[in-house]
Amino acid sequence: MSDSVKLTYQDTTFEFPLVEGSENEKGIDIKSLRAQTGLITYDPGYKNTGSCKSGITYLNGEEGILRYRGYSIEELCEKSSFIEVAFLLIFGELPTKSELDLLNKEIREDSLVDEDLKLILKSFPKAAHPMGVLSSLTSGLIAFNPNSVDIESEADMREAIIMLMAKFPILASWTHRKVKGLPLNYANTSLSYVENVAHMMFKLPHQDFEPSPVLVNSLNKLLILHADHEQNCSTSTVRIVGSSHAGLFASVSAGISAVGGPRHGGANQAVIEMLEAIQADGGDTKKYMAKAKDKNDPFRLMGFGHRVYKNFDPRARIIKKAADEVLQELGINDPVLEIAKGLEQEALKDPYFIERKLYPNVDFYSGIIYRALGIPTEMFTVMFALGRLPGWIAQWLEMRKNNEPIGRPRQIYTGKTERSF
C-alpha cells in the first residue's frame, strides 16, 4: 500500500505523505498543500480535518468504541472513580494508591476560593443562565491567581491543575445554589470528590446530608462518561484558545462558553424541554413518534441517534442502567419521566428507529437522571462541564507540551471584489 497520496492539478502532480495513528487511522498530511499548489482545503465544520495528533481519547463511531488512554469506557465506569479517570486523562496513567491519595489531599487543601468571588456571583441576576455565570466565575479565577503558568515547570503545571480541579466544583455548585436561591456551601474534606459535588449542591442548612450510594454512583458514571470525547467543539475551542498561549483558566472558560450551545453540552437540556413540550400537548408519545418519522414535519426527536456514533452510543448502554437504578431508588412519580420511558420503549421496538439505528443516546439518559435528582434543567450543561473538566485540562496540557502552532483556519472569500469608494 502506498504511503502517500497524489493530487493532480493543472496538469501537475503533487505528492503528500500519509500519517497513521496507533489504531491504524490514516490521514493525508497537507501541511505543504498551499505552498506547493496555491490551494487550500474547504471543509465546513472540519468533519474531515485532523487538527492535531493526540494520545488522550480514541473514538470509533462506526464500531461504538470509546477509550481513554487505551482503557475502554465500559471498564473505567465499572472499576474506577471519576477522580481516578481525571488523573488518567491528565497524567497519562491510572494512579497508584499513593498517587491517588496525594491528589485527593492536594484537592482538599485547595478547596477554597477567594471570598471576593462571591461579589461576582452576587452581581448576576437570579435569572442569568448558569453557563454564563460559570464561565464568568472561571475567568474570575485568573484575577485572583494572576501569575502565568510556566509550562516547563512540572510544579507550576500541577499547581494550576490542582487549583482548577479543586475550585471548579465549588463554582459549579455555587452556580446551582444561585439558581435555587440557596446559601452557598463549601467542600467537606471528609467526603470523596463526587460525594462533595453532591454535598455542595444539595445540602440544606437545616438538614444533615448523606449522599446515597445510588446518587453517588450515577453521578460518578455521568462524570466519567462526559470526561472527554476527542476533538469536539468545546475541546477544539480549549486547544485553539490555548494555542495563543492563553492560560489554562482562560482556555477552559472559553470551552465552557462553547459547551453551552444546544448542539453540544446543551443537548440533554433540549431532551427535557422536548419532553415537557410533549407533556404540555397531552403526553401522546405515539403522536410524537409519528411526527419524528414524518420527513415533512419540523419536529425533531432529541436524544436519539448521534452524529459520531453510527450504530450505538457506548455511553448510553452504561448510563441507562444507572438511570433505571435512580428512578427505582427515588420512586419518583413524574409525568415527564413517564413520557421519556414511553419514547424509549417505542423507539427500541419500532423498525423505523431500529433500521436507522436511532437509539437513545447519553444525552437522553443523563437528562432523565438530572431531572430525577432535582437538578434544574438549565443546570444540566453545568454538570456536563464539570465532567468534561479533566478532558479539557488534558487536551490543553498536551497541546502546550507539544508546542503546537497557533490555530489559524483559512477561508474562501465570497464577498465583494475591489470597488471604488
Long-range contacts of 32-37 (CB under 8 A, 24+ apart): 34/410, 37/7, 37/9
Instruction: Tell me the one-letter amino acid at 227.
Output: A
- The per-residue b/e assignment along 321-342, b for 16 or more CB within 10 angstroms, e otherwise, is ebbebbbeeeeeeeebbebbeb
The catalytically annotated residue of 306, 313, 324, 334 is 306
The catalytically annotated residue of 176, 229, 313, 363 is 363
Strand partners, 27: 19
Strand partners, 59: 66
| Residue 138 and residue 179 in contact, taking contact as beta carbons nearer than 8 Å | no
CA dihedral (83, 88, 91, 94) in degrees, to 10, reads 100
306 is catalytic: yes
363 is catalytic: yes
Distance CA 30, CA 32 (A): 5
Distance CA 385, CA 374 (A): 18
CA dihedral (42, 48, 54, 60) in degrees, to 10, reads 170
β-pairing verdict for 71-72 and 57-60: unpaired
377 is written with which cell numbers?
434543567
**Beta-sheet strand order (sheet of 71-72):** 57-60, 65-68, 71-72
H or E stretch at 28: strand 26-28
| Residue 304 and residue 420 in contact, taking contact as beta carbons nearer than 8 Å | no
91 is written with which cell numbers?
497524567
End-to-end CA distance of the chain: 57
CA dihedral (102, 106, 108, 114) in degrees, to 10, reads 180
Helices and strands, number each (H, E), in the chain: 18, 6
Q: Comparing C-alpha atoms, which of 349, 346, 355 is closest to residue 301?
A: 346
The residues annotated with a catalytic role in the active site are: 306, 363
